[in-house]
């Protein structure tokens, strides 16, 4: 199956791309994506502690199973608004 994976902020910078299509085996979870990214860029694993993930605009866990056409995103700690 194919899914779209989006990268924001520090992840975008680290991976040098804002999104990509990924072909995954049936039964793949978000963990499958995290492992694949870690192979490419081991340092990204440091961010996994504080990062969240989403599937189709809803927060998800690493165990969330994916289906064809899902839109997955890596969500670094959010920092919108102002410092007050």
Partner 1 sequence: MFKITTEVITGEEVREAVEGPDAGAVVLFFGTVRNNTDGRPVKCLEYEAYPPMAEKKMAEIAQEISDKWGIERVAMTHRVGKLEIGEVSVAVAVASPHRKDGFEACRYAMDRLKQIVPIWKREVWADGEAEWVKPDAVFFDTPKPHKTASQID
Binding letters toward partner 1, positions 15-54, x by CB under 8 A? ---------------x-----------------xxxxxxx
Q: Residue 15 to residues 10, 18, 82: CA-CA distances in angstroms?
A: 9, 8, 27
Q: Least CB distance from residue 35 to partner 1, whole Å?
A: 13
Helices (H), 1-84: 9-15, 30-40, 45-48
Q: Which residues bind partner 1 (CB under 8 A)?
A: 6, 8-10, 12-13, 30, 48-54, 57-62, 73, 75-84
């Amino acid at each position: 199956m194919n899914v779209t994976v989006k990268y924001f902020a520090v992840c975008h910078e680290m991976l040098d791309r804002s999104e990509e299509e990924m072909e995954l085996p049936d039964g793949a979870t978000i963990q499958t994506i995290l492992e694949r990214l870690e192979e490419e860029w081991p340092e990204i694993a440091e961010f996994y502690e504080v990062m969240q993930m989403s599937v189709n605009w809803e927060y998800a866990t690493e165990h969330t199973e994916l289906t064809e056409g899902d839109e997955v995103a890596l969500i670094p700690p959010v920092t919108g608004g102002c410092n007050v």
